[in-house]
Structure 1
Amino acid sequence: MKKKRHLILPILLFGFLLSGCNQKTEEKSSASSSNATSSPAKPAGVPVNIDPALAKKGEELYNQNCVFCHQADAIGKPGFAPSLTNKEFLSVSSDKFLLGTIRDGRPGTGMPPFSHLGRSQVEAIVAFLRSHSNEADISALVDAQPDAHGDPRLGKLWFDQICSTCHGFDGDGYSAGSTGTAIGKAGFLNKVSDGFIRYTIVNGRSNTRMLGFKGPAAMANLTDSEIDDIITYLRSVPSKS
């Protein structure tokens, strides 16, 4: 009887220890799972106030100058012209960026300059575009993000494997027969911050072919450093018009 008691005690002790280990493993697994499924936090922006009369004027100007490429309601056409009313695009685009892009166009692409319209008419078009979204303006917060300091050699590998599928091997976009925009051209890179590019890679653009590339449900779960490698590579490519 004594012998049995001596055997039972070590068995019970081992059982308690094993139970504790399993609990810790489950807690760790649960924490890892929680971290993996959490999506990147969206910065809080400022509400956008739109003058209805200005937006109405902008709609008329849009239909006279922009609808041929960007389609009705600025929804765009894959492989031809991008959507200008996508909520992620509008929330991350500053007025300066939108005004400058309409005014100067995108050299090396099918987007011509519209400087002949004058500032007030371009502002009206911007108001019309913004009227399509009630998202807060986060452009100031996004543009204030630090510049990317990655490895351009690694960035080229990631770009060639992932981004070139839609944007072309040199980022030439539509002109190379690609479905994505010309993100490798100076006309785009000179007007956007690294934060703008970073936010777009992470979050993608809803209702377009541009999906997010960070997170377990993303097209490719890129790390922060890998995203910065891609941005650094884009910046390192010789400027193209």
Structure 2
Amino acid sequence: MASDRPGWYVISLRPQGGHAALRAAAARRGAKLLALSPWRLQARDDKAARAGLRAALACEREVFTSPAAVRCAAGLAPLRRQRGQAWIAVGDGAAAALLRAGIDAVVVPARKDSEGLLALPELQALRGVRVGLVTAPGGRGLLAPALAKRGAQVHRADVYQRVPLPPSPRALQALRRLRAPACLALSSGEALATVLAQLPAAEKAKLLRFPVAAASERLAAQARESGFARVCVAAGPQPAQLAKAAAQALDAAG
């Protein structure tokens, strides 16, 4: 088992300061974490963000794509349920943040990603229904077009933004020196594209040699198109699911 190997690594592409859950999940399987953060998250407090949020919070469906979306929205306006609204969170972290903000009933998909969210009954019959999408530019680009295709009137509120970060010298050195077995945990296509575009040629070539544990078939396809040869699909995007798939990927590689 990979979990019995000393010193194997999970490579994380999460935002700066957002690696704790994956680090803990990796540690439970005997792995260390190598963090390659593509960006940091920054709250928006401007006229466009406030106007977008007002429109989004007046909708029949409220969709929050991350804990950061909840925190930043709550910093701009009180979050209050109106009659007939359904409040929906992509994952458990966003749902917990909504509960802390005073929303007492939150719908969460069984599969904590865009595909799972789009499978929810609350997001099926949407012709003429207003959907507030509280998020950041980029990110879950699948959601808005899919909701609009179902007839929804999508009101998007970008309440935070991703500020790109160049790879830190420490992270590049860690990647160059990495000799232990390692697997890339992939839960964001935008993060993967950003990191690959920023890495120097030698470090990019090295990263592409590692196996990938992707959170979905869509992300697995992107990883293959990006040049990764060994790609497996995790049961979902949760840190424990990604860490388990990473261990299994290294077991399969021998």
TM-score normalized by the length of structure 1: 0.33
TM-score for the superposition, normalised by structure 2: 0.32
Larger helix fraction of residues: 1
Structure of higher CA gyration radius: 1
> Which structure has greater strand proportion?
2
